[in-house]
Structure 1
Amino acid sequence: MKRTIPFLILMLVGSLTSQAQSFGKLVKKTPGMVSYTLRESFSKDVPGTLDKVKAWGITDIEFSSLFGKTAPELRALLDQRGLTCSSYGVSYDAIANKPDSILQNAKALGVKYVRIGSIPHKTAATLEMMQQAAEVFNRFGKQAHDQGIMFCYHNHGFEFQPYENGTLFDYLVAKTNPEYVGYEMDVTWTYLPGQDPAALLMKYPKRFRLIHLKDVEKGVAKSDKGSMSNEQSVVLGTGQIDWPAVIKAVNKSSIAHLYIEDESKAAEQQVPQSLKYLKSL
């Protein structure tokens, strides 16, 4: 019996370790997915699309639309399938002018994060734009924090205009309260403007809370415009991004949720391939 107990303990530890690393060596657990990836499918059939996502082994979704459902209705569909919505994407206007309704939906969905995908702009980012955004982010962030939700801003490329010894993105980070405001890195829209995603994660390891795993086709030129052809969104590992470096940085940061984002019309074929690639790392 004395010999059996240590053996059982070792077996238990080994089992727990295996479970903790059940997806891959670098990517510890199955990533989530951004609902925009299957936007056309969701707009036609929410229950069927959720079944499809679950069949891929994905259980965590960041919704940036309710697709004609109320928040409680969508939550019920998720609960029925053992799925979760950890992040709710809304507009800049919504957090600035409709914070109560946004937070009501967020609570109904059971999310931990509310994020916006960009700041309204017609030109390159300006200091005034970032000053105004910082005020809105801090105000809404405090409201969300008071209800147990973290607000995050998703970069979209145009924020990396040079400013003083850094960029306007650096300015925005400096002017927002870390207790109330986090960030969601879009890897492609960090890389294309000329930034190093892994280095930026290491620069702000405690500010980034979420990340969009999106790759860009080889040959696409660097740009800070924040837009590209949907078909330039390719299977992870086949484009320009150094994913091992990014994931290693993610593992040293405060990022809690990883979401695959595939903008192409072939997303239904590409997402399973992206999952296979991430698992291989």
Structure 2
Amino acid sequence: MINRRDFLKQAGSLTLGAAALPLLAQAGSLAKPKSAGIQLYTVRKELEADVKGTLKKLATIGYKELESARSAKGNYYGFAPKEFKKVIQDLGMNLRSGHVHLDKDWQKTVADAAETGQTYLICSSLPTEGQTISNYQKVAEQFNKAGEECKKAGLQFGYHNHEYEFEKAEGKVLYDLLLAETDPKLVAWELDLGWVVATGHDPIDYFTRYPRRFPLWHLKDMKKNEPVSTEFGKGGLDIAKLFQNADKSGLKYYFVEQEEYSGDPIESVKHNFNYLQKLKA
């Protein structure tokens, strides 16, 4: 597997700088971002301490769209699916997606997600280990089957990438193999933009080669010299340019995600929200 500190060096010319943001905004060429969403893993420790209080803080900041993440207390932070749905709705928020595992509890996971009324159910990591073409072909079969099961339950199945899917086997990028061997009607893709850029790839190239197959984004900025997430505008992600190409992606929802902090996570997610609002100006 690629050493995280080494693969960032590959980004080079593909690293997307944020310096052009003011010019893009002034020129009126910037596509307006959709309602800001947040991946709740971003505030995982805060949720462990106080679920309702933390969600209220996010709502007050202005986040409307949520993506849950599996926690020590389950997929819904200790709440039953319908209870969590009510907590969200009472705050004027929407649960659009959830990160889960494709494991022995999969059938219950699907049933619970259907109860919440969410649209997407996202496998958050590769269900089996092995950076080989044969393993990724097996995974693609699993994804197509999971997609069929989700469709029957009124859900859309999808997958979220990290960095390792962009390694090569027999000269082929393994992520591309997954895209080629899954049914677009059954498997959606949530592109973690930070990891794509960090591995030396260009998200817009993927939008162009696989149009409208990426309805979900993880909007994550990462430091230019190490694989550590940071606040928007402090890393190498050209957010303005990405939103200009949102139609190619087929974007429906995006979720702010930050995994590391130098200070208070709530202040960081507030900064990120305000940064996005400036793009709309």
TM interval, short-chain normalised: 0.7 to 0.9
* Deviation at residue 237 of structure 1 after TM alignment: 1.9
Percent of aligned positions that are identical: 31
Q: Residue 251 and residue 241 in structure 1: after superposition, are their counterparts in 2 closer, same or farther (change >3 A)? A: same
Q: C-alpha separation between the residues in 1 aligned to 2:93 and 2:64?
A: 5
Deviations 1:40-62 (CA, angstroms, capped at 9, x unpaired): 11111111111101001111110
**Matches of 1:133 and 1:75, distance apart in 2:** 31
Cα 1:121–1:237, aligned 2, differ >3 Å: closer, same or farther?
Answer: farther
Q: Summarize the Cα distance change of 1:248–1:165 in structure 2 as closer, same or farther, 3 Å threshold.
A: farther
Equivalent position of 1:20 in the other structure: none
For the 8 Å contact 2:224–2:236, the answer to whether it is kept is yes
Please tell me the residue identity of whatever aligns with 2:236. Answer: Q
The partner residue of 2:271 within 263, 270, 273 is 273
Matched, 1:105 2:101: no
Shift of 1:29: 2.7
Residue in structure 1 matched with residue 80 of structure 2 by the alignment: 70
- Which structure has more relative contact order (CA 8 Å, sep 6+)? It is 2
Q: After TM superposition, give the deviation of residue 164 of structure 1 in Å.
A: 5.9
Any idea what the Cα deviations from partners look like across 1:29-84, whole Å, max 9, x if unmatched?
32100000110111111111111010011111100131111212211111211211
Alignment of 1:132-281 (within 5 A): 132-163=138-169, 166-220=172-226, 228=227, 232-265=228-261, 266-281=264-279
Q: Which amino acid aligns with 1:258?
A: Y
Q: C-alpha root-mean-square deviation of aligned residues, in Å?
A: 1.9
In structure 1, the residue matched to 2:61 is: 56
Q: Is the 8 A contact 2:39 2:68 kept in 1?
A: yes
Q: 1:207 to 1:164 in 2, by over 3 A?
A: farther
* Structure 1: distance between partners of 2:132 and 2:117: 35
Q: Give the structure 2 partner of residue 42 of structure 1.
A: 47
Of the structure 1 ranges 80-89 and 97-106, higher mean CA displacement relative to structure 2 is found in: 97-106
Please identify, of 158-167 and 147-156, the stretch whose mean Cα deviation from structure 2 is larger: 158-167
Distance 1:36 1:193 in 2: 22
In the TM superposition, structure 1's runs of 4+ consecutive aligned residues that sit over 4 Å from their partners are 120-123, 163-166
Which amino acid letter does the alignment assign opposite residue 57 of structure 1? Answer: G
One-letter amino acid of the counterpart of residue 83, structure 2 = E
Shift of 1:166: 4.5
State the distance in 1 between where 2:66 and 2:117 align.
12
| 3-state SS, counterpart of residue 88 of structure 1 | strand
Gaps of 5+ in 1: 1-23, 221-227
Relative distance call for 1:143 and 1:122 in structure 2 (3 A) is: closer
SS at match of 2:248: coil
Letter in 2 for 1:273: H
TM-score by length of 1: 0.81
> Equivalents in 2 of 1:140, 1:120: separation in Å?
12
Paired positions, count: 244
Query: 2:148, 2:127 → 1: CA distance?
Result: 21
TM-score (ref. length: structure 2): 0.81
Gaps in structure 2 of 5+ consecutive residues: 1-28, 71-75
Aligned to 1:194, the other structure's residue is in SS state coil
Q: CA deviation at 1:122?
A: 5.6
Q: Distance in 1 between matches of 2:30 and 2:236?
A: 22
**Secondary structure of 1:92's partner?**
coil
- Aligned residue in 1 for 2:26: none
- Cα distance, 1:254 vs structure 2: 1.2
Q: Which of the pair has more CA radius of gyration?
A: 1
AA aligned to 1:59 is K
